[in-house]
Amino acid sequence: MKIAIATNDYARVSGHAGQARHWLLYDSESDPLEPQRIQLDKRQVFHYWEDEGPHPLDGVEVIVAGSAGDGFRRRMDARGVQVLLTGERDAARAFSAVLAGELLPEPGFDPSLILCRLLDRFSRH
């Protein structure tokens, strides 16, 4: 199973998944379980991604982030990707919990989602 975690510093789970440029990509079948660091170009950031050509996070089954807008969640659902939102900030702990099938802590309130919901009403998503 491939699990991608949105991050700003490759250590902590970041907020808004649709705007994330930095990701930790775990493959549960690799040994050792060391994440690959992915840095997306601006055009590869999901908020701007046009679904044209391959994407560095293709094949991911689960995405973990602190927050995500409805448009992002719909796009990921269409790709068969489960989006898990969490208040856990430690990326390694979040990965371990997902791998073990444990519940992640609930995310806190994210005021940026209000703007995302408004923008989603007018976007192509």
Listed by start position, the domains of the chain span 2-122
Strand partners, 74: none
Residue 105 predicted with pLDDT over 70: yes
How far is 65 from 13, CA to CA, in rounded Å?
A: 6
Chosen CATH of 2-122 out of 3.30.470.10, 3.60.21.10, 3.30.70.2080, 3.30.420.130: 3.30.420.130
For 58-104, write each residue's pLDDT tens digit: 999 999 999 988 888 998 999 999 999 999 999 999 999 999 999 88
